[in-house]
Chain A
Amino acid sequence: MHCLVVDDDAEIRTSLTTYLQGFGWQVSAAADGQVMRQLLAQARPDVIVLDLMLPGEDGLALLRWLGTQADAPPVLMLTARGDTMSRVVGLELGADDYLAKPFEPRELVARLQALVRRSNKGASVQDDTRLLRFGRWRFDRLTRQLISPDEVGVALSSAEFRLLAAFVQRPGRVLSRDQLIELTRAPGVEVNDRSIDLAVSRLRAKLGDTAREPSVIRTVRGEGYLFDAEVAPC
């Protein structure tokens, strides 16, 4: 696995390189956008760690440039702030994930692995559309909330968000609990059968679905769950 680190702080570059190499990765490091472009021309890394605050061309400008490149690797953005605004800004501009400084090194590794795994599996890591529509509901994937038919924002927990994000990408398909566990795995939390069932019942409650006659998330006995709604971007 090959990771490219772009950060203007020399010591962060070197220790991050050492740390990631400890996992048997190949790591290259760039201090600014110019070096980053040179390195990208030489070899395509599997993933890029990009600092938001860079002298000269900043992280957002580089992110935009990467967006114009064909077959650009997934990007994890290092931001200064860990709040929702940063996430919205970072993800909206095309980062695939983000982490606030100072981060837990283990978490960085877990996120990078997840990014690479997802990008190897299928086409795009992050679907560009922020708002999806199913039935009379809308799903805002940046602010992580549902918008009800009468325009009320209904917040989702992380578990519900991961579950719904997995469902809307596979509408009309039966997903087993094991598949859902795999799809909703996140660093730092344990996902199991029980947590999947809990998240499903919470989601149903928020969607106004009853367990007896669910119309959106159906239970397929002995097999798993099925997201029974047409999903369209809006």
Chain B
Amino acid sequence: MLKRLKSWDGLGLRLFLLMWAALALSHLAAWSLVLQAMHGPSAARPGPPPLHAEGGFGPGAPSHDGFDSAGPPPMRTSAAGPSGGGGPGAAMPRHMPTFPSLPPSLPLTSSLIDYGVRLVVIALAAWWGSRWLAGPVRRLVSAARELTPALAQGRPAPTLSEDDGTREVREAASVFNRMAAELSGQFEERGLMIAAISHDLRTPLTRMRLRLETGEVEAKVRERCIEDLREMNRLVESVIEVFRPAEVAEPQRVDLSALAQSAVDDLAETGANVSFAGPPAVVRADPVALRRVVDNLVGNALRYAGNARVRVELSAGVTRLVVEDDGPGIPEAELERVRQPFRRVEGSRNRDTGGTGLGLYIAQQLVRRQGAALVLSNRSEGGLRAEVVF
């Protein structure tokens, strides 16, 4: 029974009923108020006030044919008939409006009350009706917006309630939910597959690496093969990193400067051209993820520019980790693109740089998970500036 009723609950029916009710209510309210204003509550009843045949309140006023079905109860007599130019009019008071004549004018105050009351009632009805339309659309928009990051970060896809709202809304919700579930299923499957392939590549990579040590291989060939193996391994690591379900770590209070200093010191120990400067600064973050972000950004700078300067800046309640280099920077048009997976600056996909095209993407994902933002820009002096803004 409830289900049958629900199947009738369409937007069309709702709007129709709302308009009808609004019109009836506005007539009734306007009539009784004008009546009071003109004659006072105790005055003798002079008959219903005139109706404005043309409401002029937008498309919601269905009064084109003069037969105003939503008129106040006293009007609901045959007197208001569409043909009412003759007989019935004689029986009524003289100022009774008759189609197609315009209503006789009311005193100004009554007119204003009349219009005002209708305006308020119909505005309220329009506001209510728009909620039926706008609410579900807003929910749909926010769910759709949430869908992409949820898929990218391996969180469950957002769902919409399939029990609330009109038939159309419920249908849209159910279609959206199905789509989101299918997408996230496929996404997960693809991710698992890629991660599994990458994972299984480690065994043959290990085998090859050992074979290069034990087999009879010319030194030069061996060196090149080892370089290739390293590159393959970097790719494997990054892919696993991207597709592995996010480890949820409790954020803790971390000294950002100590962390950046440690990362820089570790790289300097291997002979890299890196430096650090900055005051102590405490942020809330997962230290493991944060360390990976610093490593990725500095590694990126070292790869493309050969040097990196790391700074921590504190200003007006905002903590910034800045990584700068003196390299070629990134063409303005590609600044957004390089944050996407497997995207690199055009022409840089060569063996010398050896990047996987995932470094910045991973850094961005991790930064977002910390509730911070990654900002990339070119320095006016040349070189790239990557900022993590907390």
Contacts and interface: CB of A to CB of B under 8 A. Distances in A.
Contacts of A158: 265-266, 269
B199 A80 contact: yes
A143 B286 CA distance: 11
Given A12-B206, A153-B255, A159-B269, A143 B262 contact: no
Nearest to B253: A152
Contact of B253 (A12, A81, A151, A189): A151
Interface in B152-208: 199, 202-203, 205-208
B18 interface: no
Nearest to B255: A154
Interface stretch (B132-140, B209-217, B332-340): B209-217
Nearest to A144: B262
B250 to A, nearest CB: 11
Which of B203, B210, B254 is the most central at the interface, judged by chain A CB atoms within 10 Å of its CB? B210
A101 B118 CA distance: 77
B210 to A, nearest CB: 4
Given A85-B288, A102-B202, A202-B261, A153 B253 contact: yes
A104 B199 CA distance: 18
Interface string A37-68: 00000000000000000000000000000000
B262 A157 contact: yes
B205 A18 contact: no
Interface string A95-116: 0000001111100000000000
Interface string A15-36: 1101100100000000000000
A189 B202 CA distance: 26
Contacts, number: 99
B79 interface: no
A206 B258 contact: yes
A153 B287 contact: yes
A22 to B, nearest CB: 8
Bin the interface of chain A by size. 35 or more
B21 interface: no
Nearest to B256: A155
Nearest to B290: A155
Which of B206, B214, B287 is the most central at the interface, judged by chain A CB atoms within 10 Å of its CB? B206
24 contacts: A11-B210, A11-B211, A16-B210, A19-B213, A83-B288, A85-B247, A102-B209, A105-B210, A105-B213, A152-B253, A152-B254, A153-B255, A153-B287, A154-B255, A154-B258, A155-B287, A156-B258, A156-B262, A157-B269, A159-B266, A188-B270, A189-B269, A195-B269, A202-B261
Interface of A: 9, 11-12, 15-16, 18-19, 22, 80-85, 101-105, 143, 145, 148, 151-160, 188-189, 195, 202, 206
Given A105-B210, A153-B287, A157-B261, 17 more contacts: A9-B206, A11-B211, A12-B207, A22-B214, A101-B205, A152-B254, A153-B255, A154-B255, A155-B255, A155-B291, A156-B258, A157-B262, A157-B269, A158-B266, A158-B269, A189-B269, A206-B258
Across the A-B interface, give the 8 residue pairs with the lowest CB-CB distance, nearest first. A157-B265, A15-B210, A157-B262, A102-B206, A155-B259, A102-B205, A154-B258, A155-B262
Interface of B: 199, 202-203, 205-211, 213-214, 229, 233, 237, 240, 247, 252-255, 258-259, 261-263, 265-266, 269-270, 282, 287-288, 291-292
